[in-house]
Amino acid sequence: MFTRNSILAIAAISTLAAASLAPTGASAVTGGFDGAWNVQITTTRGTCSSGVGFGVEVRGGVVHTASAVNVQGSVAANGATRVSIAAGSQSASGSGRLSGNSGAGTWKGVGQQGVCAGSWTASRR
């Protein structure tokens, strides 16, 4: 089963989380996804925790978290997100789209008890 930090990373991946956020310069006018986001994770396949929520920060189109989990993520100017996270032997990746003050997508990963997958939603704080 994923630890809370692993799930946080997974969410960051989607919305966060390997995501591509690049609202800088001219992109910032049309994208504008920098700032604080709340992410909620739902598991639809496997035994990973579900209903986990956490916060992430997007700065210069890059997803950041305040955890020890390795998160790589970004958001493109059009809102497309891609994130990957890893913590020990657990890992996950996700993708989706941000639009305005919200977003959604899907994730999949491998936890201590096997393969899991699900969806994520995000809202601007």
Q: What is the pLDDT of residues 71-103, one digit of tens each?
A: 889 999 999 999 998 888 889 999 999 999 999
Residue 20, domain CATH: 2.40.128
Mean residue pLDDT of the chain comes to 78
- Average pLDDT estimate for 19-31: 37
Q: How many domains does the chain have?
A: 1
Per-residue tokens: 67: 């955890």
| Residue 9 contacts residue 67 (beta carbons within 8 Å) | yes
The lowest-confidence range among 30-34, 37-41, 98-102, 121-125 is 30-34
Beta strands in 21-113 (DSSP E): 35-45, 52-59, 62-64, 70-75, 80-87, 90-99, 102-111
For 9, the domain range is: 4-124
* Polymer length of the chain: 125
Q: State the Rg of the chain over Cα.
A: 13
Q: What is the pLDDT of residues 103-112, one digit of tens each?
A: 999 999 998 8
pLDDT recorded at residue 113: 79
SS3 at position 85: strand
Closest Cα partner for 17 from 85, 68, 87, 101? 85
Question: How high is the pLDDT of residue 88?
Answer: 84
> What is residue 49's predicted lDDT score, i.e. its pLDDT?
81
For tokens 């994770």, name the residue: 41
Average of per-residue pLDDT across 45-66: 86
28 vs 60: CA distance, rounded Å? 9
